[in-house]
Amino acid sequence: MGFSRAELEGYRDTTVPDLLPDPLRLLFVGINPGLWTAATGAHFARPGNRFYPALHRAGITASLIDASAGFTDADLAQLTERGIGISNICPRATARADELTAEELREGAARLDRLVLEQRPRVVAVLGITAYRTAFGLPRAKVGRQPSPWPDTELFVAPNPSGLNAHSSLDDLAAAYREIALAAGAVAPD
C-alpha cells in the first residue's frame, strides 16, 4: 500500500484512536500521529519507523508487525494480549512532529494525565525526550525512568523510533523498550 503526497495531506489534522487493551500494562506514548499513521489508522505505521522492529528485537512481540497497511487481527492480538497500548501526546496528525506548538504539547500532557488516571497502566513510556521536556515543563529531563506524577504507574522516557531520529540505533531502542516492558510485566525476563 502506498500513498501519494496529496493523499497523505488529506489526513493532516485528523486523529487516530488510542489502542487501549484491558488490562493495560504498558502504554507507549508517541509524540503525535504522522500522516501515514492517520491514513492507515495504525500507530507508528510509516515505513522506516523502527517501533515494531524494536518491539520484536526486544522480545515484546513474537513476530515482526508491519503496520504500513494498517493492523491485522494478528498484529492487534500480539499487542493487546500483552497489555500493550499506544497513544500520543498530541492527537493531531502532522507530517513532522516539529509542526506542533509548545502549547499543543503542554495540552497533550494534560490529556495524557487524564488518560493515565482513567486507564491506570502499570507503566507509561513517552517516546521522545524533546517533546517530553516541552510537554511536561522539564527542560533538563534525561531518557530513562522518571518521577511519576501518577499513583501506582511508573514513568519512563525512551528515544523516539522515527527514522528521523538518528541518535538511537535499533539495538538502543530495543534495549530501552525491553527494560520498560519488563517493568510493566509485558514480557518475560530472560
Q: Quote the CA–CA distance of 161 and 170 in Å, as a whole number.
A: 8
Confidence (pLDDT) at 189? 78
Torsion (CA) 171, 173, 174, 178 in degrees, nearest 10: 140
Confidence (pLDDT) at 162? 83
Model pTM?
0.95
CA distances from 10 to 3, 91, 93, 101, 107 (A): 10, 16, 10, 21, 24
Query: Could you give phi then psi for residue 19, rounded to 5 degrees?
Result: -100, 110
CATH topology of domain 5-184: Uracil-DNA Glycosylase, subunit E (3.40.470)
Q: What are the extents of the domains in the chain?
A: 5-184
Instruction: Say if residue 67 is exposed, middle or buried (CB neighbours under 10 Å; 0-12, 13-18, 19+).
Output: buried
Listed residue (130, 186, 127, 133) closest to 161, CA to CA: 127
Is residue 86 within 8 Å of residue 28, measured between CB atoms? yes
Q: Which residues pair with 29 in a beta bridge?
A: 87, 126
Confidence (pLDDT) at 187? 85
Q: What is the mean pLDDT of each run of 10 residues along the chain (190 residues)?
A: 89 96 97 96 95 96 95 96 96 93 96 97 97 96 96 96 79 96 88
For residue 51, the Cα-to-chain-centroid distance in whole angstroms is 8
Confidence (pLDDT) at 2? 81
Across the chain, where does the E strand assignment appear?
26-30, 84-88, 123-127, 144-146, 154-158
